[in-house]
Structure 1
Amino acid sequence: MCAECSGGMKIQPIKIQVQGDPVFLKRRIIPYGLREAVHKTLNDLCVKGIIEPIQSSAWGTPIVTPLKSDGKTPRICGDYRLTLNSRLLKQTCTTVEVEDILNRLHVSKVFSKVDLKDAHLQILLDESLSILTTINTPFGLFIYNFLPFGLSCSPVIFQEVMNKVVSDLEGVEVYQDDLIVHGSNKVVHDQRLIALLRRLFEENITVNPNKCSFFVSSFEYLGYLVDGNGFRPDMKRLAPLTNAPSPKNLTELCSLVGALQYYSRFIPNFSCRANCLFNILTFKWSEEQESCIRSLLKFLQSDVVL
C-alpha cells in the first residue's frame, strides 16, 4: 500500500466494449524542454509494468503531457478523444451526488482524507484490450496494461470499482481518487480509518501518503470547506470568479453561470435571481446582467454554512 510500488487491484481485469474500425494517428512533437522528462516518465511506467513497448499496432493515439502538481513531472495521457473514445460503448455507474456526500459529513467532527496514487492506473485491463490503448510517442509505440488516463470511460469505471471496495464500510465516502473517513469523535473515526486501510491493503490498492491528511477538524473538498459545523464555499476556489472580468461572449458567460450553479444552494431563489442570465440568446452585456452577477457572487462571499 506504499506510494513507491505500482498497484494492481485484486479485481477481475476490466473489459471495455468497442465498436468501429481502428484508428492510427501520427505522433505529436514534444517540446524540446520536455523530451527528457517525458522519456523518463515512459521508462518509469515501463519499469512498473503499467505500459510496455510494442513494434506495431492498428491503433495509435498521440499523447498530451500536462504537468503534475509539482510543475516538473509530465503526466502521460493518450488523446483518446481523437481515436478510441468515440468508439467506446457507454459505461453506466451508480451516480454519486456531491451534495449527498456533504450531507453525510455534516454530523462528523474528525476527518481524514486518503489519496489513491495514480487512480486509474491501479486497475488491470483485460489483455485483449491493451492493443486498443496504443499510444504513439516520439520514443515508439506503447500499450497500457492498466486503465489509462484519457479514456472517457475511465472515471466511470474507477468510481464503480471503488464504490464496491468500500460499500460495506461505515463513515467512508469515495469520489474518484479521494477517500474521506469521518466520525463523530476520534474513537469512531479511528476505527473506521483502520477498517479502510485494512481493506485497501487487502485489495492491493496503493495510497499516496504525501497527499493524505489525517485526524483533521476541517478540510477542503470538491470546492468546499468542510468542518464539524457543515460546509461552505472554499474562498480560494471562489477567488477566480469574484476577481474575473465581465464575460465577453456566450462561452465565457456559460462557464461563469455553470460555476455559480455549482454553488447555487448558497444563493436563495437562485433560478429567479439568475433568470436574466439564462435568457441571453445573443450576447449583449448590460448593467442588468452585471448587477445580477455581482449580487450572486455577494451571496457566495457570505458566511452561510450548510
Structure 2
Amino acid sequence: MILGKKPVKQSPRRFAPEVIEKIKEEIERLLKAKFIRTSRYAEWISNVVPVIKKNGKLRVCIDFRDLNTATPKDEYPMPIAETMIDVVAGNEIMSLLDGYSGYNQIYITANDVSKIAFRCRGALSVYEWVMMPFGLKNAGATYQREMNLIFHNLIGKFVQVYIDDIIVGSKQKEDHLCHLKLAFERMRKHGLKMNPLKCAFGVTAGEFLGFVIHQKGIEVDKNKTKAIMETNPPSNKKELQSLLGKVNFLRRFISNLSGKTKVFSPLLRLKREQEFQWNEEHQKAFEEIKEYLAHPPVLAPLSKGKRLKLYISASDSTIAGMLA
C-alpha cells in the first residue's frame, strides 16, 4: 500500500431483485470453487459490479478503483505482443491453450486477503477473495510473472505465453506431441489448469492476441476489420479516438498509416468548448483506410538467415519504414 492511504469501505449499491438473485448464484459458485470466503474483519470493502455475459449468465466484477489507487504499480515487464506474434507465425502446427478461470489460480497473500473484500446489498454477506480476481491493478503482471517462472526454459523454443493465453507451436508436425507433453508436464507440476472448452489442439491456424496466425504468416482478424467497416463517422472527439484506436491496432497492415490519419490531428486537438466538425476531407481519409482494410496484406514470418531489405518512405510531414 502507498503510505498515507486510508482504507476505503464503499457504500453498498442497490440492484434489482432479479439481479440480486443472479449475484447470489454466482457467489455460491465462487464459494464452492473456494475462490472466495466469508469475511469478518474486512480492511477495504469494494462493491459488486454485475456484468451480464452474452449467454445470459452473470459475471461478478468488483469496483477496485479505490484499492487500485492506493496500490503501487508492479513494473514487471509484459511481453511485446507483436514480437510474440512474429515468433508464433510460421509454425506448421500449434495448440492454443487458455487458462481456467483466468487469474483465479493464484493465491492471495494471507496479509492481503482482508483488503480484497466486497459486498452487495441484501441478504448477502461480505466476502473476500482467496484467489486473485480480475480487476486488481497488478493482476496481469503477477500472472505473467508466474507463467514466465513456470515455462521459463520453454518460452522462445516452442512455447509463448501472454498472461493466460498459451501457444505451443512446432516447426515440424512430428515434434508437436513431444512439445505438448513437455508443456503439460510443466503445468501438472505447478497445478496449472487449462479450460478444455477454449483450447484448440493440433491446428494449422488460430487466433492469437487479435490476429490470425498460420504457417504462411499473419493475417488480420476479420472481426477487427468488420468493427471498423461498420463504424459510423464519428460525431465527437471521443468517438474519433475510439475509431483511431481500432485502426491503430492494425497499423502493421496499413501502409503509411500516419499519413492517412494526419487529417484527423486538428480534431484530436480540439478543446472541450470547440465544435467538432467532420467534413468531406475527413470522410475521404476514413474511406481510404476502409478500402485498404478490405483487402489487407498477409505478413510473412521472418526466416532465420534470410537477408532483409529496409524500405523507407518520406514526405514533408510523415516518414515510414519497412523490413522485408
Offset of residue 121 of structure 1 = 1.0
Residue 266 of structure 2 is aligned to residue 279 of structure 1:
yes
Offset of residue 101 of structure 1 = 0.9
User: 1:141 is matched with which residue: 126, 130, 136?
Assistant: 126
- Report how many residues are paired: 288
Residue 287 of structure 2 is aligned to residue 294 of structure 1:
yes
Q: Higher RCO, 1 or 2 (CA under 8 Å, sep at least 6)?
A: 1
User: 1:76 is matched with which residue: 60, 85, 90?
Assistant: 60
Distance, in Å, in 1 between the alignment partners of 2:165 and 2:76 is: 17
Q: Give per-residue Cα distances to partners, 1:94-137, cap 9 Å, x unaligned.
A: 23111101110122111111111112111111111000001012
Distance, in Å, in 1 between the alignment partners of 2:239 and 2:286 is: 13
Residue 127 of structure 1 aligns with which residue? 110
TM-score (norm 1): 0.90
> What is the SS of the residue equivalent to 1:305?
coil
Q: Is the 8 A contact 1:113 1:180 kept in 2?
A: yes
> What is the SS of the residue equivalent to 1:29?
coil
TM-score (norm 2): 0.85
Residue 305 of structure 2 aligns with which residue? none
User: 2:245 is matched with which residue: 246, 252, 258?
Assistant: 258
What amino acid is aligned across from residue 165 of structure 2 in structure 1?
D
Residue 91 of structure 2 aligns with which residue? 108
Residue 234 of structure 1 aligns with which residue? 221
Offset of residue 31 of structure 1 = 2.9
Q: Give per-residue Cα distances to partners, 1:170-208, cap 9 Å, x unaligned.
A: 211111211111111222222211111111111001111
Distance, in Å, in 2 between the alignment partners of 1:297 and 1:120 is: 37
Residue 74 of structure 2 is aligned to residue 91 of structure 1:
yes
Q: In structure 1, list runs of 5 or more residues that go unmatched.
A: 1-16
Q: Give per-residue Cα distances to partners, 1:252-277, cap 9 Å, x unaligned.
A: 00111111111111111111121111
What amino acid is aligned across from residue 203 of structure 1 in structure 2?
H
What amino acid is aligned across from residue 78 of structure 1 in structure 2?
I
Distance, in Å, in 2 between the alignment partners of 1:92 and 1:28 is: 33
Residue 156 of structure 2 is aligned to residue 163 of structure 1:
no
Q: In structure 2, list runs of 5 or more residues that go unmatched.
A: 271-275, 300-324
Q: Is the 8 A contact 1:119 1:158 kept in 2?
A: no
Runs of 4+ in 1 over 6 A off after TM superposition: none
CA RMSD of aligned residues (A): 1.5
What amino acid is aligned across from residue 229 of structure 1 in structure 2?
K
Q: Which structure has the bigger radius of gyration?
A: 2
Q: Is the 8 A contact 1:64 1:77 kept in 2?
A: yes
Residue 208 of structure 2 aligns with which residue? 221
Q: Is the 8 A contact 1:91 1:156 kept in 2?
A: yes
Residue 38 of structure 1 aligns with which residue? 23
